[in-house]
Structure 1
Amino acid sequence: MKIITKNKYAYLNYDIHEKFESGVVLKGFETKAVKLGKVNIKDSFIQVRGGEIFILNMDIPLYNKTSFNIVPWYDSKRNRKLLMKKPQIARLYERTKKTGLVLIPLKVYENKRKLVKIEIGLAKLRKKVEKKQIIKERDIQRQASKDIKRLKI
């Protein structure tokens, strides 16, 4: 499994309850661009509409060897359909509507069969106070590990 990109801010801004794997419908030149690492999922989110699931605002710029004359209609932030089973989509829809949880992309990766997959997180938005506490705990942990390494040398 080759990780193409991660949503680093998702783990700070959200409390992730559950993770799911999903395929994504891409054009040929988009797949090439994604495999080169030219994808941004920082501001993207996932929405369930009409029994289907879509990722919105995922930015995939045009592959550098693709001529803009061939695809003048290309929109890098278009809505892309995700591939999941219907019962799973229905369950995600219920969870997001009833409990107020949101769906966010956590990472984009290439699986063993060289297919592009997206890891989706069912998450709850954290408050500003909780984020500050997490940052503080990480700093304390980092400083403690530095002190331990320094004392062992």
Structure 2
Amino acid sequence: MRSWWFAGLMLIAGVVTGVGQSGPASFALAFLPFAVLGVLFSPLAFPWSLTAAQARRRSAENGRPVIYWRPGCTYCLRLRLRLGRRAGRAYWVDIWRDPEAAAAVRAVTGGDETVPTVVLPEGAVVNPDPAWVRDRLPA
């Protein structure tokens, strides 16, 4: 199951904030920013996550990048939004969903789980510039 807890937390925060408002319009204005954040930080904003093993196998076949991410990561969201439609040309792996993926990131980053971590056949880069990643995606 994909990680939805952070998106749910945003929606709950929006409801709690909106309940204190004086009318339906005020509620909607208070709730809307939290709803937008909930969608952006949910798995809906990211292509479907694979397991680390699946992503490595597919990347070995065609050389596409493997991007390790986690829900709630603003840098992951920035990368995803800046890649736009081309984001689907990479393999996305949620490190909170796959312990093997978290271990792979720790191996690359020296023991922490810093994401986004992009792995290509020539090596790995932690929190790369989105333009750099875009240049390495297939056309």
Which category describes the TM-score, using the shorter chain as reference length? under 0.3
Higher helix share: 2
TM-score, normalised with respect to structure 1:
0.24
Higher strand share: 1
Higher Cα radius of gyration: 1
Q: Choose between structure 1 and 2 for higher RCO, CA contacts under 8 A separated by at least 6 residues.
A: 1
TM-score, normalised with respect to structure 2:
0.26
